């Protein structure tokens, strides 16, 4: 890959294998057959100082058939708690870290090729990703980014005619995932539980040097991870995102949304919504996410106990609830056109959530309907509610609260409430088109999701709610 501006520096570095020997296996990608472009994310490419149009070298390297200069592909070793149960046998089983690319500001981005073939950590898997789940990851990560929610990004998606067996036959694809770091909570857990404290220390050092330069030591690093995780989950809860597989191996040390599998955004407001059909107990139900993230942070704390004293670990964990609550309140307040929130506003927000949940109102449209009107016009929405009186009481309270704001809440609320939302049924319709070789609807949906707050006539279809009788195809981890 060449830069969009001439530069004599080598394109890729491979500092992870250089700095962290003993934490990975070197593996070459296995090419997919007859690769072709499904999507090149030119908006992200521009940000990374990559060409706006990809060349044939990029197609080869990002479909596993070639290598960019300077890359040294590896499969990272990690472990984790899956549905609460310790599993030491994890690692990159179907993805490889290719290397780190530096953007125009010198910021390094890891390129991870998802679906690159078998590795020593594949266990019984085939090392492949399918087109369906790769499209879901592409759409979701770009939607999250546009909503301001920390996330890994998707740079490229390449399809193939290689058959892959899942619940039914599908086709293999490769997704290039980009983020400053792919280190998971499970990396620390593996080296702690396999009694390799020096490797835990090396990982902490690597994180401090490259990703947390503002932290002076392991205790500050842990504290920062707690705060980032709390803010991330507040974002998920404010925007109705359900991850579905919050195992510790799917938790990013950077506090980004990571490893998109059977995720879903809420349609109707259902607090105990479960998006992963293998999660029969609802461990990862929407409303449980804040406590699950805390449980995961406790696992990380244990894994760091050789590096951080127990008082500091406890102090870090104690920050979680406050940071979460504060951030959630701020985000929800902004969605309602409010700033400078205080404890008293909590009731206003929870009453709204109760109202939406008791009537199963569409989560996103309900917010946007308020945002698109001045408070005097909210009477127009009275008929949408079965319990009209409850809505009238609530909207009067919000209208009164808005009078105490010194800025106009309408532009603020419109900039915080998406018109175009990632919905399971719309993603599925785009996937059906893609399976037939047509990627036009995927590109259109992606554009709408990349500008979610903008209302455009041609994007109308991307804000539609699912039909009443819509039955989502079951989503599981096995994609
Ligand atoms: P995930 O459910 O994607 O978070 O993956 C959990 C573990 O299973 C990780 O160690 C993955 O690398 C591995 N894995 C998932 N799918 C495959 C696959 N198709 N082939 C090999 N390993 C896989
Ligand atoms: Mg995973």
* Secondary structure class of 19 (helix, strand, coil): helix
Q: What residue has token string 């949940």?
A: 357
| Ligand 1 center to 90 CA (angstroms) | 8
| CA 245 to ligand 1 centroid distance, Å | 12
Cβ–ligand 1 contact at 248 (below 6 Å): no
3-state secondary structure of 272: coil
Note the ligand closest to the C-alpha atom of 261: 1
Give me the residue label for tokens 């009453």: 351
- Give the pTM: 0.96
Catalytic residue among 56, 89, 105, 249: 249
Question: What's the pLDDT at 220?
Answer: 98
Residue nearest to atom 1 of ligand 1 (CA): 477
Contacts of 1 (CB under 8 A, 6+ apart): 11, 12, 50, 51, 55, 57, 58, 61, 68, 101
Give yes or no for residue 87 CB within 6 A of ligand 1: no
CA 109 to chain centre: 16
**Based on the number of CB atoms within 10 Å of its own CB, is 131 exposed (0-12), middle (13-18) or buried (19 or more)?**
buried
Tell me which DSSP letter residue 478 carries.
T
The finding on whether 117 has its CB within 6 A of some atom of ligand 1 is no
Cα–Cα distance for residue pair 61/67, rounded to 1 Å: 5
- Token pair, residue 440, equals 């036009």
Q: Are 374 and 398 in contact (CB under 8 A)?
A: no
Kindly list the protein residues that place their beta carbon closer than 5 angstroms to ligand 2, a single-atom ion. Answer: 250, 259
CB-count exposure of residue 371 (10 Å: 0-12, 13-18, 19+): buried
Dig out the tokens for 150 from the structure.
């920390």
Catalytic-residue membership of 383: no
Question: What's the DSSP call for residue 151?
Answer: B
Q: How far apart are CA 375 and CA 387, in angstroms?
A: 19
pLDDT tens for the chain, residues 1 to 479? 655 444 445 589 999 999 999 999 999 999 999 999 999 999 999 999 999 999 999 999 999 999 999 999 999 999 999 999 999 999 999 999 999 999 999 999 999 999 999 999 999 999 999 999 999 999 999 999 999 999 999 999 999 999 999 999 999 999 999 999 999 999 999 999 999 999 999 999 999 999 999 999 999 999 999 999 999 999 999 999 999 999 999 999 999 999 999 999 999 999 999 999 999 999 999 999 999 999 999 999 999 999 999 999 999 999 999 999 999 999 999 999 999 888 889 999 999 999 999 999 999 999 999 999 999 999 999 999 999 999 999 999 999 999 999 889 999 999 999 999 999 999 999 999 999 999 999 999 999 999 999 999 999 999 999 988 787 777 876 55
Integer CA distances (angstroms), 453 to 118, 140, 240, 462, in order: 40, 16, 16, 12
- Ligand 1 pocket check for 187: Cβ under 6 Å: no
Contact criterion met (CB below 8 Å) for 232 and 464 = no
Phi, psi of 168 (to 5 degrees): -135, 180
Contact 20, 203 (CB under 8 A): yes
Please give, one letter per residue, the 3-state secondary structure of 26-63: ECCCCCCCCCEEEEECHHHHHHCCCCCCCCHHHHHHCC
Q: What is the pLDDT of residue 471?
A: 74
CA distances from 306 to 1, 197, 375 (A): 41, 6, 55
Q: Compute, in angstroms, the gap from residue 249 CA to the centroid of ligand 2.
A: 6
Rounded Cα gap, residues 479 and 134, in angstroms: 9
Of 435, 361, 379, 23, the closest CA to residue 188 belongs to 23
The 10 Å Cβ neighbour count of residue 141 is 28
* β-bridge pairing 153-165 and 129-130: unpaired
125 pocket-lining for ligand 1 (C-beta < 6 Å): yes
């Amino acid at each position: 890959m060449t830069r969009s501006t001439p530069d004599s520096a080598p394109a890729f570095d491979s500092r992870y294998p250089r700095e962290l020997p003993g934490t990975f296996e070197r593996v070459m990608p296995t090419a997919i057959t007859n690769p072709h472009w499904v999507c090149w994310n030119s908006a992200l490419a521009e940000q990374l100082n990559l060409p706006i149009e990809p060349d044939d070298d990029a197609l080869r390297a990002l479909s596993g058939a070639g290598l960019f200069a300077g890359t040294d592909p590896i499969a990272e070793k990690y472990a984790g708690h899956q549905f609460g149960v310790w599993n030491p046998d994890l690692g990159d089983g179907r993805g490889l870290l290719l290397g780190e690319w530096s953007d125009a500001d010198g910021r390094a981005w890891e390129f991870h090729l998802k679906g690159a073939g078998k590795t020593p950590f594949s266990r019984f898997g085939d090392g492949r990703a399918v087109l369906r789940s790769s499209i879901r990851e592409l759409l979701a990560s770009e939607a999250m980014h546009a909503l301001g929610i920390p996330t890994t990004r998707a740079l490229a998606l390449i399809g193939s005619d290689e058959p892959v067996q899942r619940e039914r036959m599908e086709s293999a694809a490769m997704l290039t995932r980009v983020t400053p770091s792919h280190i998971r909570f499970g990396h620390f857990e593996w080296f702690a539980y396999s009694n390799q404290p020096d490797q835990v220390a090396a990982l902490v050092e690597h994180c401090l040097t490259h990703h947390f330069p503002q932290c002076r030591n392991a205790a500050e690093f842990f504290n920062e991870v707690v705060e980032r995780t709390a803010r991330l989950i507040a974002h998920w809860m404010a925007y109705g995102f359900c991850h579905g597989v919050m195992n510790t191996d799917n938790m990013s040390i950077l506090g980004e949304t990571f490893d998109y599998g059977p995720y879903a955004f809420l349609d109707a407001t259902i607090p105990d919504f479960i998006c992963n059909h293998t999660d029969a107990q609802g461990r990862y139900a929407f409303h449980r996410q804040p406590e699950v993230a805390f449980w995961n942070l406790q696992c990380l704390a244990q894994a760091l106990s050789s590096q951080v004293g127990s008082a500091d670990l406890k102090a870090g964990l104690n920050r979680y609830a406050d940071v979460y609550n504060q951030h959630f309140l701020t985000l929800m307040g902004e969605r309602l056109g409010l700033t400078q929130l205080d404890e008293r506003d909590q009731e206003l927000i929870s009453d709204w959530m109760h109202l939406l949940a008791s009537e199963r109102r569409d989560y996103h449209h309900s917010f946007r309907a308020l945002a698109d009107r001045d408070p005097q016009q909210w009477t127009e929405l009275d008929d949408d509610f079965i319990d009209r009186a409850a809505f009238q009481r609530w909207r009067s309270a919000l209208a009164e609260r808005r009078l105490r704001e010194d800025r106009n809440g309408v532009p603020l609320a419109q900039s915080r409430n998406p018109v175009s939302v990632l919905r399971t049924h719309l993603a599925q319709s785009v996937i059906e088109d893609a399976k037939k070789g047509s990627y036009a609807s995927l590109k259109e949906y992606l554009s709408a999701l990349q500008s979610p707050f903008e209302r455009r006539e041609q994007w109308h279809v991307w804000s539609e709610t699912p039909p009443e009788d819509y039955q989502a195809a079951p989503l599981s981890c096995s994609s």
